[in-house]
Structures are given as C-alpha cells and as structure tokens.
Structure 1
C-alpha cells in the first residue's frame, strides 16, 4: 500500500510526521497475520517523476530516486529503513491565485530525507521506535515516533496506538532574516478487524497539534495563525472476490482543523491478477475541501496586518486523481512495478457548492518505476 501525497502539499500546510501513519499502514494485510519479524530481507529501489502545471505554464518538476529496506534482526527484532533524494526545479506561483499568476522565480532545490523504524516482537505485541529527518535549503525537519501494536489471540483483531513529535526550522533563500521554528505533537489510535475470510476493515484516528511558524515565507503578505490543531479519521475496507480472483479496496478520510478547513476524500481501487505474473491496479480518488477562515481570493487584502492567505491550497476546491499500477512478478522473490497517476484540481469541483472562484485549474502527473527483491 502506498499513500500518494497531494501535489499541493507544502511546508506551511503539511504535517511532516509520517511515522505513525506508516505504522497504521503496516496493519493492512490481505488476511490475518502473525506478529513476527520480517521473513528474510526485502529491498525496493524506485524512481519517481512528478510534473505539475496550470493554465499559464509548467510549474514544478520533481525527480526522486528512493530506497527501502526491510529486514529481520535476530528472532525478535525487525528493521525498516527508507531514503530518498528529491531534485526540484521550476517556477512557483507567488500567491497561488488567478489575480497574481506565477512569480517567474526560478526554483532549484534538493531534499534529502530518511527514516528508520526498529520493532521488537513479543508473542502478540509489537513495540516500534521510529526516527525521521528531512533537509533542504530552506527547511529542516526532525521527527520521532513510538507505537505499540496488539494482536488478539485469534489473530482477527489488531489494535495500535502511537505518539510522535517533530521539530522544524523554516527559512527563505531570498530573505536571510527569516529564521523560524515550528513544533508538533501527534497521537494515533487504530483498529484492524478481520470480518470474514474475504473481508477486512481498518479505522484509525489521528490528532496533531503544532505551534510556531505556519506562514509561507515566499508569499507576499501571507500571514497565518501560529498554531494549528488537526484531526483526521481514516477508514479502509478490503474485500476479496474469489470468483474473479480479485480484490476491491475502498478508503474514506475525513479531515478538519482549527483553521476552518474541512475535507472529505474517497478512493477506490481494484486489484486484478492477469495470468500468472501480472497484477493490475486501477484507482480513482475524489477529494473536496472547504476554505480556511482567513483564505481570500482578493489580492492585496482588504486589511493589512490581519490573518490572510491567497494560497489556493487553503481554498475551497475539488480534485480527482486517476491511476494505474502494473506489477510484473518475475519470480517469487522479484517484482517490477510501473505506476502512473494524473491529478486535476478545480474550484468548480468542490462538493456542496461553488469553490474559490478565482482559483485556476491545476494539473499534475506522477510516474514511478520500482524494482523489489526479497532475499531469503
């Protein structure tokens, strides 16, 4: 399973801590699983290419080689490690609305990120400790997380709880006086339940709160609150269809925060084996969100020295993502996967009424190629 981030994510809006979410994702087996360290060592090497654009011009390009390792350490320990280097280039819009357009400022940056998680396996309990960092020219983040998983005696129910913390440093390459900090805390509770031999459901609740600098240092007049509380509820349902030898996945996510943003995301995907070696995974996702209380399509703002942002990532919008992943199992140990996704965002697609009217349509494409091998 892989969660695709929104192409609109940025430092000012996203919470960098992903350790607890990763722990929850690990609890999504196709069938009940025993609490045991990894069987052997698995290595995955992949390459991601990303391009976004609007009506005026191509905007950002991202190229990111990635490495993921999962292995057992003795009989009771397991280790997961991931690393990536993202090379970003392009022109970024300065205000993110139709009135201001793109700034024309050239962006060239490189982000280096890595995370690691060490897990200790008891008979029906797993304790995990994770560390993560991300570093680029104008942004540094450090995070840590601790989680515990408990598996019922019949192996049909898994509970997970976790805590996390992050510390970020934000600057601006063209404004040396901007040297800001942000700190965050996160807590998560989750439940995975096997409903039948062919159905499983997972639901988890995540709460995070942060304080410090949330404004965008590159956008003129952007001024956001110095704290943010976020609540997200994610539910996943998986059902295997024996007659078709296929599986359907349904996901729903509800999100709200103290800035007034309310969002709903619904995703469905189909897992279909083709022959003895191929697996096809078409997917469709719809996302709708309301605007933050201080978001405005007006530029400049009607009143200065007040909370204000014209960043469309805080506006009312709707978005659709379509994707297709094809996996070729060369052998029982080796898999090659190619995945493509296309994203479109428009104000008029906002559910329940018109969105932020001055927002320009936005599009993005992902393409990734991966090679995975399991050493026994």
Structure 2
C-alpha cells in the first residue's frame, strides 16, 4: 500500500485540508496523492479478512493536470510502488513508496491571474503496515512518513476488524495520530500541527448479492492551518472534522457486474459542509477484461472566514479590517463550489500472476454548482484530468 492507498481506489472529492502552502488547487488531487501532508491514517475494512496466501508487488503511475481560463496551472507526476508479503500464515506486512513531482503556477488570490507565480516542488513518502490475523479478528498497526523541503509529516495508526460468528457482520475500529512540521521558503516560519483520528464502522452482508457499510470518522487537530505563502490568510489554530460514510454494493450474477454506491457527508469547525455522491459499475468482459465507469458529484459550503473576491486597492477584500484579529482566507478552496467527475477504468487479468489497469478521470469545478445557500460571486472555473496506469504481480 502506498501512502495514498486508502483513497486511491476511489478518489474522493473533498474539502482541501489547509496545510502549508497547499499548492494543489482542487481537492480531488489532495485525496489522490495526499500532497497535503495529512495522511489517511485509518480506513474501514469490508470484512475481517483471512491472512493472504500470496505475496503481491504493484506499481502505479499517476499524472495530474489542471487549468483555469488563461492559465495552465499544475502538473503532477507521481510514481509509486508497493509490496505485500504474508508471514507464517497469520501475519502480513505492507510497505509502499511514492514520489511526487509538482510544477506549474501557485494558487492565486481567488482567480486573479497576476497573483500566480511559477513554482516546483517534490515529495517523498513511505509507509509500513503490519497485520495479525485471528479466526474472526484482524489487527493492524502502521507508520507513515512524508517529507518536502518545507513540510514533514509523521503518522501512526491502529485498526481492528471483528467479524461475527457467521461472518455476516464486521465491526471496524481505528485510531490514528499525526505530527506535522511546517516551514516556508523566503520567510521565518517554524510551526507544528498535531492531529488525532478515530473511526467506528460496521459492514453487513444483506444477501448473497448485497453488502452495506456505515462508518463515522472524527479528526481533532491543533496547530498551524494558515497558508504560509499568502499574506492575508489567517485561520483558526484548531479544526474539528467529522465525516459519515454510507456504502452499498450489489452484485448482478446474470451480468457478472457490480454496482457500488457511496454517499459521504462532511462538516468541520471552519464552517465547511459538503456532500459527495459516488456511483460506479464494474462490468466483467471476456478475455479477463473489466470496465468500470464512474460518476462523482460534490458540493461544499464556504468557510466562515472566507472573503469574497471584491477588493479595495492592493487586493484587500472589502470588509476586512487591516491590523485586526479576525480570521481571513482568500483561498478559492475555502469558497462554496461544486465539482463533477467522470471517469473510466480498464483492467485485465493477464494470467494467474499478472494484472494491468488504466484509468482516466475528468474533473470540473464551478462556483455555481454548489447546493448550499452561502453561494459566493462566481470564480473562474477549474478543469482537471487524472491519468493512472498500474501493474500488479502476485507470487
């Protein structure tokens, strides 16, 4: 598993975590490659799994590009490798490495092209997880580390999955903790942020063709959340985040296909609320091929301290008192907006050892697509594309 493996199978469009300079505009990329520095510490399991019988090596490559009218913004190239090895029939270990190269234009004040500047960055990350399997219980412990020239993050996690006697019900529990160190190029900054997560969830087999899952996660974080590379960006030093996730999977035996539905509700102490709906259908084809089209809809409200793109001189928002103590952010990702994502994934099982896959996703973000009442003046649209290719070998 790579550092982003908890979300890479189903890219979540979710509020950007306002870390460091937060160079990546749309939040979909933060979920895809975890460049925010806040790692996905805990994740629900579909069931209390049996110990794996075979080792597995996988390699993936992700390429991301986004743009706004008049400006080609960011390009990200992110190769990764992962290895999973069973040990003595009751243990397994997962390890992953990922390297991200980012180049392009830094985020602007709202959508003013003149405020964008050229930038480049890179990240290296690694994680290791150890699993212990019992008759109806799986225990996991993990550690992860990510480093950039102005940002370091260390995280640990503990997970437990407990199945009922008939294996139809599985309870999932998780705890996580992260510590981030934040600096900034060109200014004196030496900040920290600490966070802790917990998760509780349950998966239920409803029939031979149906399974449902509900999970609740909560994050409590303290420290530096402002954008170190914006002069007018002062955010609270505490953030509470809560997310409710509902999943339903149905298998069609006649068609040999699976429908997967996912709804996510998110809210935090910054005042952001969001809804995410994800629909995909995996259809088995002949000769070992599988095709999976995906549709994702997202809508969020603005943060309480977000200021509209209406300025006085020097790009100072109307209503902001210079020298005051009020919180403020002109970050477009803190505004109210909606996103729509369309994608397709193709995979092929070559033989009992090898599998290949490729996916392409197109993302569109517009301020007038939000469902919430605190709709802001329209900002420039953002478009993004995400290409992934992967190779897996089991032995």
TM-score tier (shorter): over 0.9
- Give how far 1:273 is off: 1.0
- Give how far 1:66 is off: 0.7
Other-structure match for 1:49: 63
CA distance in 2, matches of 1:352, 1:168: 32
Q: Is the 8 A contact 1:65 1:86 kept in 2?
A: yes
- Give how far 1:93 is off: 2.3
Q: Does 1:113 align with 2:125?
A: yes
Q: Secondary structure at the match of 2:246?
A: strand
Q: Secondary structure at the match of 1:93?
A: coil
Other-structure match for 1:104: 116
Give the TM-score of the pair, scaled to structure 2. 0.88
Aligned residue pair count = 364
- Give how far 1:309 is off: 0.4
Q: Is the 8 A contact 1:282 1:325 kept in 2?
A: yes
Following superposition of structure 1 onto structure 2, how do residues 27-176 of structure 1 map, counting pairs within 5 Å?
27-28=45-46, 35-95=49-109, 97-98=110-111, 100-101=112-113, 103-175=115-187
CA distance in 2, matches of 1:267, 1:137: 35
Given candidates 260, 264, 272, the residue that maps to 1:253 is 264
Deviations 1:274-297 (A, max 9, x none): 113110000000000001100011
- Give how far 1:71 is off: 1.6
Q: Is the 8 A contact 2:41 2:197 kept in 1?
A: no
Q: Is the 8 A contact 1:41 1:71 kept in 2?
A: yes
With over 3 angstroms needed to count, the CA separation of the structure-2 counterparts of 1:294 and 1:11, relative to structure 1, is closer
CA distance in 1, matches of 2:132, 2:365: 43
**Structure 1: which 4+ aligned runs deviate by more than 6 Å?**
none
Q: Does 1:3 align with 2:3?
A: no
Other-structure match for 1:360: 380
Give the TM-score of the pair, scaled to structure 1. 0.93
Q: Which 5+ residue runs of structure 2 have no aligned equivalent?
A: 1-7, 23-35
With over 3 angstroms needed to count, the CA separation of the structure-2 counterparts of 1:149 and 1:275, relative to structure 1, is same
Q: Which 5+ residue runs of structure 1 have no aligned equivalent?
A: none
With over 3 angstroms needed to count, the CA separation of the structure-2 counterparts of 1:171 and 1:5, relative to structure 1, is farther
Following superposition of structure 1 onto structure 2, how do residues 312-327 of structure 1 map, counting pairs within 5 Å?
312-327=332-347
Q: Is the 8 A contact 1:81 1:115 kept in 2?
A: yes
- Give how far 1:355 is off: 2.7
Q: Does 1:20 align with 2:42?
A: yes
